[in-house]
Amino acid sequence: MSTNYNILLKSEKKLKELILSYILLMHEIHKKLWADANKYINDNLHIIFDNVERRLKRSKDMEDELLDECIWTISKDDPRANHLRFIISIIYSTKDISRSCEYAQSIAKIIVRNNINQDVIKNFMPLSKLYLEYIENVMKLNNGTSNNKLDLFDELNINFENKYEKFQKEINKSFGKDEVIQYQLNQISRLVFSVVEKLQSIFLTIFFSKSQSKTSTLEIAKKTKK
């Protein structure tokens, strides 16, 4: 059976739209996590974790919808080569976004179980703002009309990593003598950085052509640190 190119393009467009919707949901889950942390940190601490648990149900529904759409696309379009690789990328990206949503649960668990106080959380708010704004900026870049999106994406990643390193140094300076709090904050920092890393991979794989860049994002970031 011959492949209908227009049908394949429509299928890819729909899958991309679903992935972007899932990223927006992930962003919302993390944004509301930090809003709750700021609101409930000294009262009804368990609400932070309970709210994330409730929101993760929406993440599971979105994950199932995306995977079902991938299976349906394979069955009806009989994809070959590049289109099949694209669908496989969507499946892996769906799993990455799902894991990123679960990282919000992990962050909430660290805050609640260790009864982290408001003074510590306030010191951590700049990082929450940093990665939430990073997600927003990448989405804006993808929706824009620039012809050099990949170069601009590289700049966003370098800017994030530089600010992330600066934040880590400031946190180490503020809480370096308290090994318990330092360990807890480092756990949260790694989870935040993992969200960004997964998002980088998704956009390089699905939305921005990696082959257009002379060097990868991580290679550029490493050069700027030297």
CB 14 within 8 A of CB 69: yes
Q: How far apart are the first and last CA of the chain?
A: 54
| C-alpha–C-alpha distance, residues 26 and 95, integer Å | 12
Judged against a pLDDT cut of 60, whether residue 225 lies above it is answered with no
Give the pLDDT confidence of 36-81 residue by residue, as tens digits. 988 877 677 889 999 999 999 999 999 999 999 999 988 887 777 8
Q: How high is the pLDDT of residue 80?
A: 79
Q: How high is the pLDDT of residue 46?
A: 85
SS3 148: coil
Q: How high is the pLDDT of residue 42?
A: 67
Structure tokens at 33: 């996590």
Average the pLDDT over 189-201 and give the result.
96
Structure tokens at 110: 């660290």
CB 33 within 8 A of CB 48: yes
Q: Give the model's confidence band at 209: pLDDT under 50 very low, under 70 low, under 90 confident, else very high.
A: low
**192 against 1, higher pLDDT:** 192
Q: How high is the pLDDT of residue 93?
A: 97
Give the pLDDT confidence of 13-45 residue by residue, as tens digits. 999 999 999 999 999 999 999 999 888 776 778
Q: How high is the pLDDT of residue 97?
A: 98
| C-alpha–C-alpha distance, residues 51 and 141, integer Å | 30
Instruction: Give residue for tokens 């599971």.
Output: 60
Which domains, and CATH codes, for the chain? 5-225 (1.20.58.220)
CB 209 within 8 A of CB 150: yes
Instruction: Give residue for tokens 């190119």.
Output: 5
Helix (H) or strand (E) holding 23: helix 5-40
DSSP 114: T
CB 199 within 8 A of CB 23: yes
Among the listed residues 192, 43, 41, 196, the one whose alpha carbon sits nearest the alpha carbon of residue 106: 192
In whole angstroms, how far apart are CA 75 and each of 60, 71, 127, 179?
23, 6, 43, 54
Mean pLDDT of the chain: 87
Q: How many CB atoms lie within 10 A of CB 138?
A: 25
Q: How high is the pLDDT of residue 3?
A: 56
